[in-house]
Structure 1
Amino acid sequence: MFQLGFSSLACPDYDVDQLIDLATRSGYAGVELRFVRGQVDLTTLEEFSPAKIGETRRRFSDAGLTVACIDTSVRQNALDEETRAAQQENARANVQIAVGLGAKYIRVFGGPIPGSQDREKTLDAIAVGLGAIAEEAAESGVTAVLESHDDFSTSGSILDLYRRGASDKLQVLWDTLHTFRHGESPEYTWSQIGHLVKHVHMKDSYVATPEGFDFAPTGEGTVPLSEIVAVLTRNGYSGFVDFEWEKAWHPEIEDAEVAVPLFARYMAGVL
C-alpha cells in the first residue's frame, strides 16, 4: 500500500517545524520539499547546509515523517552548454540535500521545448542531459524522477526520451492531473509508464484540458481521483502519493491549513 505525503508548495512560507506540525496533525507519513521559509532554492537555507542537515533530518524522523522527494526546477531543455552545466550543478547540490535528509528522489523537469530551438535537437539534448543527471544521482543512491509536466505531460512524450537514449536510471513522477487533462485515462497511463513510476502527485481541478487547468477542493473537481487510487492499488504501487497544492504559484486558492487536511481525509475515505 502506498503512503500519503504533501508538497510544501502548499505552504511556501512555513519553516521545518510548521511543516512537521501540519503533517503530523493531518495524518501524513511524509513531506515533499519545494519551498521552505519562502525560499524555493533549498541550497541557500541554513537548515539544509552540511553543518545543519543532520539536525533537520532528525527533526523529521523524530516526528515519524519521511522526506519523500526534493523538488528541483532542474531541466535540460537548453542547447547552450553553459546553461546546461549550471542546471547539472544545481542537480548535484540537491542530490546532496536528498542524501542528507534520506530522501530517495529528486524531481526534474523535461520542460517546455523553446520555440526558438530545433525541436529534434532539443529533445535529444533533454534525453541525454536528464539521463546523465540520473546516472550521477544514482551513484549517491538517489533516483531522479521526471515529472509528467509541460511538453512531457503524456506517456508517449515521456517514452520518447528513452527512445532517444535517456538512461534507464531516469524514472518517472506521475503527476496525475497532467496526464488526465491531456486525454489519458489512469489505466492507460499506467499501462504505458507504470513500470517507471516511483512517485505520484495528485490534486483536483474543475477545468482540466490541454489548454489549462484550475484548482478544486479534493473530491469536488473532475479528476478521477478514486480511479487513480484503484489503479495504483491494483498494481501494487508502494511509494508515496503526494498532494501538490500549488499555493505558492496561485495565492488565491485555499490555504494549506484547509486543503492539506482535506486531501488526507478524502484519501482515508477512498482507501
Structure 2
Amino acid sequence: MKLAVSTLGMPGEGLDRAIEVAAGHGCQGLELRLHPDTGVHAGLDAAARASVRERIEQAGLRISALAGYAGICEAGPDEPVVEALRADLRLAADLGAPGVRVFPRGDDLATGARRLKAVAGTAGDLGRRVLVETHDHLATGEGVAALLAEAGCPETTGAIWDLLHPWRHGEPPARTLAALRPYLDYVQVKDAVSAQDTTPVPMGTGSVPLEEAGELLRADGFGGWVSLEWERTWYPQVAPVEEILPGAAEWVRRFIP
C-alpha cells in the first residue's frame, strides 16, 4: 500500500506533528505542501533540507511528492515560472521526493508545454518529474492530457488525478482515466458535499464517486501513490485529518494493489 497524507490537512501543526500523524495512522508517505507556513519550501538551506529528509526517513516514511504552486500555463513571462519550478525540483532532489506538483493556472497549452520542455533537462538530470494536477483551468483529465501530449516529455512529466475536480466539471471517472492513462503517476483522494459545495467530508459520506474511481483504478492496475488531500487549510472548521485517515486507508486497501 502506498498511502500518503498531505500536510494541507494539518495547518500550523509543523513537520514533526505531520510525521507523527502519518506514521501513527498507517501511512507510508507524506505529501509536503511547499509554503513558508509549513516550514518546507525552496528557500531552505542545505542543513534544513538534510534535517527534513532525515526526520521523515527516520520515521520510516517517504515523501510522495512536493505540492508546489507554480502555474505552468499562467499568463506572463516564462522565466519566473521556469526558475521557480527548477528551484522546486532541486528541493525535491535534496529531500528525496520523486516529483513536484504544479497547477495549470491557465489554459494556454503552448505556454505550458514550452515551460515543461524548458525544465525537462533539469528534471531529467535530477531524476525528478513535474506532475500536473487536474485543477483550475485544466480541471479535467482530457485537459491535462492535452497539455502533456503537447509537451511531449514523458520521461519528466506526469499527471495527478485529483478525484474531485474532473468529476465536478462534468467528466466521469472512466473518461478521466482513459485520458490520463498514459501519464498517471499519482492520485489525490478526498470526498466533498457535492459538485457545487466542495466542503470536505469524511470518505464515503459525500458525493465524489469514490467507489467508481476505485474500481477503475483497481481494474487498471494502478500502483502509484494515493494521497489524502484533506483541505483543512482552506476549511478550518472541518474535523482533524486524524479522523479522516482511517477511511482513506480503507479505500486504498480495497482498490490499490
Q: 2:235 aligns with which of 238, 250, 264?
A: 250
Q: How far is 1:206 from its partner?
A: 1.6
Aligned residues of 1:110 and 1:151 also touching (Cα < 8 A): yes
1:69-84 equivalent positions in 2, closer than 5 A: 69-81=65-77, 84=78
Query: Does 2:108 correspond to 1:109?
Result: no
Q: CA RMSD in A?
A: 2.3
Task: Look up the match of 1:194.
Answer: 181
Task: Indicate conservation of the 8 Å contact 2:135/2:162, yes or no.
Answer: yes
- Residues 1-271 of structure 1 aligned to structure 2 (within 5 Å): 2-34=1-33, 38-39=37-38, 42-44=41-43, 48-81=44-77, 84-113=78-107, 122-162=108-148, 164-168=150-154, 169-209=156-196, 213-268=198-253
User: Per the alignment, in what secondary structure is the counterpart of residue 37 of structure 2?
Assistant: coil
Q: Is the 8 A contact 1:75 1:130 kept in 2?
A: no
- Uncovered stretches (5+) of structure 2, i.e. residues with no partner: none
Q: TM-score, normalised by structure 1?
A: 0.85
Give the partner amino acid of 1:204.
Answer: D
Change (3 A) 1:196 1:266: closer
**Change over 3 Å in CA distance of 1:63–1:24 after alignment to 2:** same
Q: Deviations over 1:75-103 (max 9, x none)?
A: 1334432xx32222221221122111211
- Among the aligned pairs, what percent are the same residue? 29
> Is the CA contact 2:74–2:104 (under 8 Å) kept in the aligned structure 1?
no
Q: After alignment, is 226-235 or 257-266 more displaced?
A: 257-266
Distance 1:10 1:35 in 2: 13
Residue deviations 1:95-144 (CA, integer Å, cap 9, x gap): 1221112111100111145xxxxxxxx33212211332344322210000
Residue segments in structure 1 that go unaligned for 5+ positions in a row: 114-121
Q: After TM superposition, give the deviation of residue 36 of structure 1 in Å.
A: 6.9
Contact persistence 2:145–2:183 (CA under 8 A): no
- Aligned-partner Cα distance in 2 for 1:58–1:163: 37
**Alignment TM-score, normalising by the size of structure 2:** 0.89
Report the residue type matching 2:87 in the other structure. Answer: A
Quick one: distance in 2 between partners of 1:37 and 1:257?
Answer: 23
Secondary structure of 2:69's aligned partner? coil
SS at match of 1:218: coil
Which residue matches 1:116? none
Task: Write the letter of the residue equivalent to 2:12.
Answer: D
* Of 141-150 and 231-240, the range deviating more from structure 2: 231-240
